[in-house]
Each structure stands twice: as structure tokens, then as C-alpha cells.
Chain A
Amino acid sequence: MLIKFIEWIGAAVEGVIIGIGKISILLYNVLRGIFKPPFEIKNTLRQMLEIGVNSLPVVLITAVFTGMVLALQSYTGFKRFGAEGLVGSIVALSMTRELGPVLTALIVTGRAGASMAAELGTMRVTEQIDALETLATNPVKYLIVPRFIAGTIMLPALVVVTDIIGILGGYFVTVVLLNAGSRTYMKATWDFLQAEDIYNGLIKAAFFGAAFTLISCYKGFYTKGGAEGVGRATTGAVVYSSMAILISDYFLSAWLFK
């Protein structure tokens, strides 16, 4: 029993280490591909549209409700010790530093990451990736590089929207629903919010964008075993991307927000 468990742990650790090794090699090839012509501009723009614009509805809904619930919870909580004037600061800081980047990344992973893994996985099992190679086209450059660039650029862009909408959602709850002062909310927002809160949040977002596209593409690109394999790749893409986002979030935050 104990031996079985230790073996299981060993196999899991081995799997993770091999996975990290293979992803590092893929990352190296992706980075090399970015700077080597021909540049896949059309593909990159299409992916930016897919990741950025098509994710906008879900991202907007997530942002507005996150801002609203933040305001609601902190207002009722802070009221107990008469600090409800700080609700604006709480919403602004939480959104820009933490919830904006992380929630947006998780939502976009569920949408775009899953679809990347499914698409590349299908291309793998139906030999479309082999066909690309026979047509003298590097599939990493043609398929993965555009997604990687698009994810790294578009996630911060979405987070800018999330931050703004979240703060407006907080404003709506505090000022319109709870009848607190509009001036107080906006003052609290601006008084404590610093530029570095925003751009450090965006740096995190860019990192998350790179991470989820790389992991999702990796899962799809190396799919094995037919339709079932595509399903496994898709699930794996979402699970591992989400874990990577949440784990790296802690370390990035510890490093960026001294």
C-alpha cells in the first residue's frame, strides 16, 4: 500500500519533470520561430481576434460581477468598523493587482486554451500536422507561434478592459445600490492606486497569456490516440494551464509587488 503510493508519487513527479522538459524545448522552438521569417502575420491577427475579441463577452461579464461582489462584500464588511469609505480602494487594488489578471486568464484558458488544444489535437490525429510538414511548412511556426504571440499580447489587453469594467461594477454597487457617495468612491480609487499596480498586473497577464497558450498548444500538438486523445488533451490543457496560472501567480506577485 505504502509502496504503491510512493510509486504513484514517483510516477507523477517523473511525468511533471518530463512535461516541463518537453515544454521548455517547445518554448525554445517557439521563441526561435518568432524571430525567423516568414512572419505569420495573417495567422497571428486571426488568433488575436479569436483570443481577444471573441473572449470579450465572457470577460466583460466576469469583470463586472467580480467588481460588484468585491464592492458588496467589502462594503458590508468594512461598515462594521466604519471604513466603508475605502471600498473604492479595495476594488481598484484587488482588480488591478490580482483578480483582473487571474480571473481573465482562467476564463480565457477555459475558452481559447481548450479550443486550441482541441483544434491542434484534431489536426495531429488526422495527420494535418504531418501534411503541413510535407508542404515544407514548419508546424510550430505556422500553428503555435501565432497563438503564443496572440495570447501574450491579448491577455494584457483584456485585463485593461477587466480592470476598468470591474471598477465600474464596484462603483455601480457602492454608489447606485448602496447609496454611498460617488466622490468618496472615486477618491478612494485614485488615492491608493499606483501606476505600478496596473502595469505589474499587466505583466502578470502577459505571463499568463504566454503560459496558457504554450501549455494548451503543447497538449494539442502532441496528442495521441484518436478522438479520445483529443478529449484528454483538451481537459489536460485547461487543468494544467489553470494550475500554472495559479501557482505562478503567487511567485510573480511575491516578486513584482515588493
Chain B
Amino acid sequence: MIELKNIHKSFEDKQVLRGVDLQVKKGESLVVIGGSGSGKSVLLKHIIGLLRPDQGTVMIDSTDLLALDEDGLNEIRKKFGMLFQAAALFDSMKVWENVGFGLKRHTKLPDAEIKEIAVQKLKMVGLVNIEDVMPSELSGGMRKRVGLARAIAMEPDILLYDEPTTGLDPIMADAINKLIIEMREKLDITSVTITHDMKSAYKIADTIAMLYNGVIIETGSPDEIENSSNEIVRQFVEGRAEGPIVLEGIER
């Protein structure tokens, strides 16, 4: 379904990805873990063609993403839903217009019906009576959930979640975890989730991959990752400051 091969990406002279290989099967829920600034968001943006690799290939359903022209890319993007780390809501539009944006642009549905669908998607993420509010009036956690509603509004085949539970209270975080699981079970959605919330990772993942130093250093089931023998993985999942992972600027 999704296959990344040997992805390299640098910004100016900063190497962020140095040969990432990643595979996600249809219906699988892959979770990518890794420290802040390790390039998780950059990696996710390559899957939907927001960033182009300096080297490497991206295949979606056996289509070479990098060979597509603009129309082809837009066509394939309709299969995707993406939740951005900071939600990226359109702040000139009401909440329901945000959620219904894709429907408005790519279907002929009348506004009333789009709004109805938006309200229903908002309800799925635990939000009611906010459809006519502007995004600037929402709290961070609410914005994130609106972003999630927008990502699922077109009922995509593939969902990309960038830190879906960061900034939410534990109960809401768990509700979002449930929703992600539900989306996969009911709608057979393929998903790539980025997180450093290990509790959430164990819950929603079929497979967990760890990004470190620009490469995937380990891939495995939640059990395998929890009991990994790799010191770097162990340090990360146990959340210890001591270990082989070097934190820039922090003396030890």
C-alpha cells in the first residue's frame, strides 16, 4: 500500500532523513516513534507528496508518487486524510467549513448536506455545537480534533496522523486512540501515526517503527518493541534521560 525506499532529505546543509525504508500494508496501522526534531513530520510529509525526497522513491498502491504530475498527485491525495501536528485549520473559515472543505471542492453536494456531514464528523471526535465557531476561538485540543474531523471527512483510504494525542488530556487522548482504532476496524483504513506518546503507540499500532538519526532503526510489533534489545529503542520507550541517545545541548 505504502512503500518508502531509501528516502534522503536535507534542508540547506542539515541532513534530516538519511535513507528511510518503510512499508505499510493495506489495513495496517503503523506508528512511527522518535524524538522531537528527529524528522517524523518530515517523513510523514513525504508520504503525501508535500515534500519531495532528494533521493529515494515513494510508492502508493504501486503508483510512483514522484512521477505524477499535478493532476495525478491531486487525484491520489483524495485517498488521503492528514492531521497536522498543529491542526493547520483554515482560520478564515468556520469550523464546519474546515471540516467540509474537501467535500465542497470535490463533490457537488449542497452546503446544507456538507454541513450535516461536518456536524456528524465533529460528533465522532467528541465535539458538538461548535460548527459555527471560528477556529481562533477553540482550545488547542479542540483544534486538533477539528483537524481530525477534517481528515476523516472524505472517508479516505489512508490516514496520516501527526501526533494526534499530543496536547490532549489523558481521557481525550484515549478517546482519540479509540477513534483511530475504530476507523481502522470499521473502515479498513491504512494509517501512519506519528507519536512520542508510548501509551498511545502500544494501543493503536499493529507495527511500530523507530526513527533515529535519519533512519528507521527498528520495526516490530508493540510487544517486540517493548522488549527490544536495542539500547536506543529501550531508552526511548522507557523514557529515560540516561542512555545512548544524545540530547543536543544537554550536558550529562
Q: Which residues of A contact B (CB under 8 A)?
A: 38, 119, 122-123, 126-128, 130-138
Question: B63 contacts which chain A residues (CB < 8 A)?
Answer: none
B171 contacts the other chain (CB 8 A): no
Q: Which of A119, A130, A136: most chain B Cβ within 10 A?
A: A136
Q: Which of A123, A126, A135 contacts B77 (CB 8 A)?
A: A135
Query: Is there contact, CB below 8 Å, between B78 and A136?
Result: yes
Question: A131 contacts which chain B residues (CB < 8 A)?
Answer: 82, 84, 88-90
Q: Which of B77, B90, B101, B106 contacts A133 (CB 8 A)?
A: B77
Write the chain A residue with the least CB distance to B82: A134
Query: Is there contact, CB below 8 Å, between B88 and A135?
Result: no
With contacts A126-B88, A128-B89, A128-B91 taken as known, whether A134 is within 8 angstroms of B77 at the C-beta atoms is yes
Question: B250 contacts which chain A residues (CB < 8 A)?
Answer: none
Known pairs A128-B89, A131-B89, A136-B78 / 18 extra A-B pairs, C-beta < 8 Å: A126-B86, A126-B88, A127-B88, A128-B90, A130-B50, A131-B84, A131-B88, A134-B48, A134-B50, A134-B80, A134-B81, A134-B82, A135-B102, A135-B150, A136-B102, A136-B106, A137-B74, A138-B70
Question: B74 contacts which chain A residues (CB < 8 A)?
Answer: 136-138
Question: B82 contacts which chain A residues (CB < 8 A)?
Answer: 131, 134
Q: Is chain A's interface secondary structure helix, strand, loop, or mixed overall?
A: helix
B218 to chain A, nearest CB (A): 29
Q: Which residues of B contact A (CB under 8 A)?
A: 45, 48-50, 70, 74-75, 77-78, 80-82, 84-86, 88-92, 101-102, 105-106, 150
B166 to chain A, nearest CB (A): 15
Question: B90 contacts which chain A residues (CB < 8 A)?
Answer: 123, 128, 131-132
**Complex-state Cα separation, A123 to B45, whole angstroms:** 17
Write the chain A residue with the least CB distance to B81: A134
A253 to chain B, nearest CB (A): 38
A130 to chain B, nearest CB (A): 5
**Complex-state Cα separation, A131 to B89, whole angstroms:** 8
13 A-B contacts, Cβ less than 8 Å apart? A127-B84, A127-B85, A127-B86, A128-B88, A128-B89, A130-B88, A131-B88, A134-B80, A135-B101, A136-B102, A136-B105, A137-B101, A138-B70
**Complex-state Cα separation, A132 to B81, whole angstroms:** 11
**Complex-state Cα separation, A134 to B81, whole angstroms:** 7
**Complex-state Cα separation, A137 to B106, whole angstroms:** 9
Write the chain A residue with the least CB distance to B162: A127
B225 to chain A, nearest CB (A): 28
**Complex-state Cα separation, A132 to B102, whole angstroms:** 9
Q: Which of A38, A126, A132, A138: most chain B Cβ within 10 A?
A: A126
**Complex-state Cα separation, A128 to B101, whole angstroms:** 12
Question: B106 contacts which chain A residues (CB < 8 A)?
Answer: 136
Query: Is there contact, CB below 8 Å, between A133 and B102?
Result: no
Question: B88 contacts which chain A residues (CB < 8 A)?
Answer: 126-128, 130-131
**Complex-state Cα separation, A230 to B39, whole angstroms:** 24
Q: Which of B91, B92, B105 contacts A135 (CB 8 A)?
A: B105
Question: B80 contacts which chain A residues (CB < 8 A)?
Answer: 134
Query: Is there contact, CB below 8 Å, between A130 and B77?
Result: no
Q: Which of A135, A136, A138: most chain B Cβ within 10 A?
A: A135
Nearest 9 CB-CB pairs, A to B?
A127-B88, A131-B88, A136-B74, A136-B77, A134-B82, A135-B102, A136-B78, A127-B84, A130-B50
Question: A130 contacts which chain B residues (CB < 8 A)?
Answer: 45, 50, 84, 88
